[in-house]
Amino acid sequence: MIGTSATSSPASGSPASGAQASGKTVATDPGHNIDLDAFRATPLSHDPFAHLIIPGFVRAEVREAIHRDFPEIEQAGSFPSRELSFGPAFAALLEEIQGPAMTAAFEEKFGIDLTDHPTMVTVRGRAKAQDGQIHVDSKSKIITVLLYMNPSWETSDGRLRLLRGPESLDNAVTEIPPAEGTLLAFLNGPTAWHGHTSFVGPRRVIQLNWVQDDGVVKREQFRHALSAKMKRLNPFR
């Protein structure tokens, strides 16, 4: 099996084909695994905070291979990609979502220079009953991207809700089923409240974050790696 690093420098200044925008090159490569054309064509919604949702962002023709190569994760919780074993199709997806074309598209969409902000990837395979509580992401995370890779999602539970506030999951603007290939991306901030109703079972999601600096990546990798080791020692915690 093949592993990959959880970090990658965005390299936004790397040469790429495309038009100039705000003095920077905007890559126009649509991507082998991901549909960046659909991403560029989808406007940001600002209710309740800046976000966009793209069903089918991971291309249909590559999903079977990604499912096959998805890391086997038996415990709940987030695991740094560098701590996992997986096959080449999954590795290629991680490389592409951390590449210059993806970064350039996000810079243009959110109006943020990500040049000096590294990426961090964590992966979930299962959910436990306590997951999904209302929260905002840590201040160290600039943009959060969730890629869902569940072949189907029939239950009404476990669907992420974007919320107007922290009081109740019922105070939602929209709800996103974690169905295969779906992307949710949002700008992190003090009002970016989200959560989902309790669900226990397989729930595959790849989380990509652009973060403040390399120190954040090192701290988060250490924290997640320690948590992962504890879960392996005591899978019922």
- Annotation: CATH topology of 29-233: Jelly Rolls (2.60.120)
Contact yes or no for 91/32 (Cβ under 8 A): no
Whether the per-residue pLDDT at 13 is higher than 50: the answer is no
pLDDT class for 231, splitting at 50, 70, 90?
low
pLDDT class for 153, splitting at 50, 70, 90?
very high
pTM: 0.82
Written as six digits, the tokens of 195 are 């959560």
From the centroid of its chain, how far is CA 184? Answer: 7
Per-domain residue ranges of the chain: 29-233
- At 93-114, the pLDDT tens digits run 999 999 999 999 999 999 999 9
- At 190-223, the pLDDT tens digits run 999 999 999 999 999 999 999 998 876 667 666 6
Alpha-helical regions (H) of the chain:
36-41, 60-69, 88-97, 100-110, 214-233
